[in-house]
């Protein structure tokens, strides 16, 4: 079941009659830029493009330029097909006469594709999510305030669950061969990471007289893009 947001000049339930036969949760708001300011969250947006194609195209552009992260579908009549192009920035379209099976299939495929796209470059383990593209990490849903090197160290360890690294190896891999500081800096960064991991501090384990390793539960640390 998905949460759908319908943008229509007349926010009623007549846009896609077959949608009422499905179990998705649907919210309706006016197809106006002002209505988007306090728009509820959604897994997918349905934009009414049956009548005023110029206004609909303009609103689609606004949605994309403001960093829309969920799929955008256009709902059009058969006569409007000729006006649809890649310039709209939509992920797909639906005819207003589409049946429930088609609507459900297209929504399901779009959400699956979008989830895969969002997961690229991320590592998830226990309650930690590391986003390489955004240089950010979260623990139990809360953002971790990490320095650049703290992030790089956490990411490197998480990418190699269970493997033990000496301090010299971590210096070489994370700080680089041209770093002239001592291995003490590794201990300092590990201590800071554990503090910021809170209750999950045990994810970074110490191997006495050797170094450190990432203790993924049952080796479940997996780059999502490689699943």
Domains of the chain (ranges; CATH) run 3-119 (3.40.50.2300), 122-226 (1.10.10.10)
Residue 37 corresponds to which tokens in the numbers above?
A: 């300011």
How much is the CA Rg of the chain, to the nearest whole Å? 24
Buried b (16+ CB within 10 A) or exposed e, 110-147: beeebeeeebeebbbbbebbbbbeeeebebeeeebebe
The model carries a pTM of 0.57
What is the model's pLDDT at position 119? 60
More confident: 182 or 147: 147
What is the model's pLDDT at position 11? 59
Per-residue confidence band for 222, with pLDDT thresholds at 50, 70 and 90: very low
DSSP string, 193-215: HHHHHGGGGGGEEEETTTEEEE-
Per-residue confidence band for 127, with pLDDT thresholds at 50, 70 and 90: confident
d(CA 10, CA 30): 7
d(CA 122, CA 143): 14
């Amino acid at each position: 079941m998905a949460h759908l947001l319908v943008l229509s000049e007349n926010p009623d339930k007549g846009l896609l009659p077959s949608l009422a036969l499905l179990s998705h949760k649907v919210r309706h708001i006016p197809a106006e830029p002002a209505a988007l300011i306090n728009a509820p969250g959604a897994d997918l947006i349905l934009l009414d493009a049956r009548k005023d194609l110029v206004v609909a195209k303009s609103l689609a552009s606004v949605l994309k330029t403001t960093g829309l992260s969920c799929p955008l579908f256009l709902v059009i009549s058969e006569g409007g097909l000729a006006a649809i192009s890649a310039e709209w920035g939509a992920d797909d379209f639906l005819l207003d006469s589409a049946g429930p099976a088609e609507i459900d299939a297209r929504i399901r495929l779009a959400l699956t594709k979008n989830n895969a796209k969002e997961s690229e470059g991320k590592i998830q383990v226990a309650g930690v999510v590391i986003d390489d593209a955004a240089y950010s990490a979260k623990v139990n849903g809360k953002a971790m305030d990490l320095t650049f090197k703290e992030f790089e160290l956490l990411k490197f360890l998480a990418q190699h669950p269970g493997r033990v690294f000496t301090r010299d190896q971590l210096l070489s891999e994370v700080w680089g061969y041209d770093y002239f500081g001592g291995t003490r800096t590794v201990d300092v960064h590990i201590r800071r990471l554990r503090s910021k991991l809170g209750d999950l501090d045990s994810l970074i384990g110490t191997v006495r007289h050797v170094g450190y390793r990432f203790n993924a539960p049952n080796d479940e640390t997996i780059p999502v893009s490689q699943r």
